[in-house]
Chain A
Amino acid sequence: MAKKNLQRLDLIFKNEQDGEQILTKTFKRSNQDIVNDLIISGLKGRGGAGYPTGLKWKLASEAEGDFKYVICNADEGEPGTFKDREILSQVPVKVLIGMAVCAKVIGAHEGYIYLRGEYKFLVEPLTEIIDDFHVLLNKIGFDFRVKIFLGSGAYICGEESALFESMEGHRGEPRNKPPFPTQAGYRKMPTVINNVETLAHTYSIFKYGPDKFKDLGVQDSRGSKVFSVSGDTPIPGIYELEFGMSLQKFVEDFGDGDAKAVQVGGASGFCVPRKKFENTKIGYQGKLTGVSLPTGGSMMIFNSSRSMYNVLHNYLEFFVEESCGQCTPCRVGTQQLLLGIEAVKKGEKSSEYLEKLLGLAENMRVTAKCGLGQSVANSFSSIVENFKEEMIY
C-alpha cells in the first residue's frame, strides 16, 4: 500500500528575485485594496494567536496618532520553534516588503524588527539586507526606515505588550488589554505588530493574489504554515505544510514509528496522545471535525521511551523561570504546579492532589494577566489528564 505523504509546499521559502517589482506594483494600489486582499486571503497571525492580519492593518490605519509604527516580532522563544530564524535567514526581503507595505497602509515611517538575543548572530547579515532595502525604498520615494532592536533573553517579550515595554527600556511586563496595539502600542502610539512568518506571507498575497493563498488550507485556517519539527523524529527541521492536516498523517510522515505523543504549539501548547492522533487536526480553532489545535508551528514528537513526567517537569521549570512575576496567579501558580507534581511523584501527596493542581491550572487560565500564565494550563492539563499514571508512578 502506497503511503500518501503530506503535500510539502514551497511558497514562503521560494527564492524570488522580484522584490522590487512586487513592491512597486503593490505601492500603486490603494490602501483599501491592499487591506481587502489581506482580509479575503484569510491570513491570520502566525505567531500562534491567529488574529486576522488584514483587520489588524485596517484598525491601525484608522487609528489616530502623531506617529505610527510597524514592528516585526522576531522574539521567537516558544520551545520547539525555530521557523522565524530560518525565514529571516533565507527570505528576509519578503518580511521587509511586508513591513514597508504595512507602513504605507497605516502611515508609518519607522519600523523595528525585535530580534531575540539568542539570534544576535543574525544582526550582521540582516543589517546588510536592510541597508539595501533602504536604497530600494529611496528609489521608489517612500520614507520608511527599519531598525533591529535586540532582545536580551526573555521569553515573555514575545508577548506584544511586553515587547513594547522592553523597547521602551522597561522590564518586559505585559500591559493590560485593551487598549490593543493598534490603538496604543509602542510609545502608546498605534502599532502593527506581526510575526515574521505573517509578514512573509503578505508578500505571497501581494504577488499571487488572495485567492491562491485562500485555496490552501481549510475553512477558518487558510494558507500554508511553517512547522518546526523536533523531538523523536528522523527528519527534524522546518517544513511548510497546508493547514488542516490530521496529526495521524503528520506522525506517519515525521515520526519514528513509535510516537506516543505530540506536543503541538510548544510548552504553551497542547499534548496529544496517540489515541487522539486520528481525530486531531492542525489549524486555528474553528469548525473542523474533531479537535482543532492552533499553533505557532512547534511540533515536538515524543516516542514511547520518553517519560511524560520529565517532559511536563521541563515545561514547568521553563514557565517558572520565564514568568515575569508581575501577576500572582502566574508567578505563584507556576511554582506550585512544579512543586505539586514533584510531591505527587515522590509520594508525599496522594494522586488525588493532581485534581487540585488541575484546578489551579484552570484558575490560572482565567486569572493570569497575559498569554503566558493563561496557557500553562494547556500543556499541564493535557499532559496530566492523558498520562496520569506516568505522573504518579
Chain B
Amino acid sequence: MSEITNLVKSLADKHGRYQESLLPILQGVVEQHKYLSEEAMVEIARELDISAARVFGTASFYSFLNTRPMGKYIIRVCKTITCMMHGKNQIIQELEKSLKIKLGETTLDGKFTLLETNCLGQCHKGPAMLINDEPYTELNPEKVREIIQSIKLNDTSKTSNPDLN
C-alpha cells in the first residue's frame, strides 16, 4: 500500500467512517502532506464510501484545505482591515524579499509558501500572520526577518516537497 493509502486508512480508523469524519480526515491529510492530492481524495472517498466529487467539493470549499502542493511552512498574512491599516503591505514586501518569492508562490526548496488570508482574530495585535498553526503578531519588517531566519536556521532538512518540481 502506498503511504497515502495508509495515512487515509489510519485517519479513518481514528475518526470513524462516517460522513461527519470527512473534515477531520481531510485536515489530517493536510497536516501531514500540506495539501490534498487527487490520490488522497480518491482514497478518502473509497474509505468513507462516498463519491470523489463530494470529497473534492468539500475540500475545495475551505481555504485551509489546500488542493495544490504547498511548502513545509505555510505563511498566511492577515489582509483584513486593521492589519492592513497597521502595515500589512510592508510585511508582505519583507516576506517576498526574504523568501525571494511573490505572494501565492512557494520557494524552490519547497519550504515556504506565502499566502494572504482573511481575519485571523488578532486585530488588536496587527499586523499578524500564521505560520502553519502558530500565530505571530505585532509584526514589523525586522521581526519578520528574524522569524524567517530562525526557521531557516532550525530547519536544515533538505527534504523538499517532490510534488512541487
Q: Report which A residues bind B (CB closer than 8 A).
A: 76-82, 84-85, 116-121, 149-155, 166-172, 187, 228-232, 236-238, 263, 267, 298, 300, 302, 306, 310-311, 314-315, 318, 321-322, 324
Contact = CB atoms under 8 A, between A and B. Distances in A.
16 contacts: A79-B80, A82-B121, A82-B122, A116-B121, A121-B134, A149-B24, A150-B27, A153-B64, A154-B61, A169-B18, A169-B21, A187-B20, A232-B85, A302-B85, A314-B79, A314-B84
Nearest to A166: B23
Given A171-B61, A230-B82, A82 B20 contact: no
Interface in B26-72: 26-27, 57-58, 61-65
Given A152-B62, A300-B82, A318-B80, 12 more contacts: A79-B119, A118-B117, A118-B119, A121-B133, A150-B23, A153-B62, A169-B19, A169-B21, A169-B23, A169-B58, A172-B61, A321-B118
B118 A77 contact: yes
Contact of B64 (A117, A170, A228): A117
Nearest to B63: A153
B68 to A, nearest CB: 15
A315 B130 CA distance: 21
Interface string B125-136: 110001001110
Contact of A80 (B20, B27, B82): B82
Contacts of B135: 118, 121
Contact of B124 (A151, A168, A170, A229): A229
A311 B135 CA distance: 24
Given A152-B65, A171-B57, A238 B124 contact: yes
A41 to B, nearest CB: 28
Contacts of B22: 169
Nearest to B61: A171
B118 A318 contact: yes
A78 B119 contact: yes
Q: Which of B64, B82, B120 has the most CB of A within 10 A?
A: B82
B7 interface: no
B80 to A, nearest CB: 5
Given A77-B118, A166-B23, A172 B82 contact: no
9 shortest A-B CB distances, which residue pairs?
A: A169-B22, A236-B124, A153-B64, A152-B62, A153-B63, A230-B123, A171-B61, A152-B64, A120-B133
**From B79, B126, B130, B133, residue with most partner A Cβ within 10 Å:** B133
A56 B27 CA distance: 32
Nearest to A233: B124
A306 B82 contact: no
B148 interface: no
B81 interface: yes
Contacts of B121: 76-77, 81-82, 84-85, 116, 118-119
Given A78-B119, A119-B121, A236-B125, A168 B20 contact: yes
B67 to A, nearest CB: 12
Interface string B79-111: 111101100000000000000000000000000
B58 A171 contact: yes
Nearest to A83: B121
Contacts of B117: 118, 153
A77 B78 CA distance: 12
A130 B21 CA distance: 20
Contacts of B119: 77-81, 118, 155, 318
A118 B137 CA distance: 13
A267 B81 CA distance: 9
A143 B79 CA distance: 43
Considering residues B22, B23, B65, which has the most beta carbons from chain A within 10 angstroms of its beta carbon?
A: B23
Interface centre among A152, A187, A236 (most CB of B within 10 A): A152
A154 B81 contact: no
Given A79-B80, A169-B58, A152 B63 contact: yes
Contact of A152 (B21, B23, B82, B122): B23
A228 B82 CA distance: 12
Interface centre among B62, B65, B126 (most CB of A within 10 A): B62
